[in-house]
Amino acid sequence: MGLRCSLLGHDYGDSFVERDREERGNEVVVTERELTECLRCGAEKVTTENTEVRTLQAGRDADPDSAAAGP
């Protein structure tokens, strides 16, 4: 944290979304986090976080984005 942020507080800009997908055995954990970043010092603040656990079915992928991109 910079000195300006210590004295004046952070100046958070626009928010952005960070997505993470992790496979654990027969499950897929999908985490979406909405963050805002300070324009002065680069510190990040988590605005919202959503974690979803999906079960992988035999022969199918649990990610709807890849299923929609199919033939």
| pLDDT tens-digit map of 45-61 | 999 999 999 998 765 55
Report the distance separating Cα 42 and Cα 25, nearest Å.
Answer: 36
pLDDT value, residue 1: 63
Instruction: Report, as an integer, the average pLDDT of 28-57.
Output: 93
Whether residue 62 has pLDDT greater than 80: no
Report the distance separating Cα 60 and Cα 71, nearest Å.
Answer: 14
Residue 13: what residue type?
Answer: G
- Rg over alpha carbons for the chain, rounded to the nearest Å, is 18
pLDDT value, residue 6: 80
- Looking at the whole model, is its pTM more than 0.85? no
Query: At 41, is the secondary structure helix, strand, or coil?
Result: coil
Report the distance separating Cα 14 and Cα 31, nearest Å.
Answer: 20
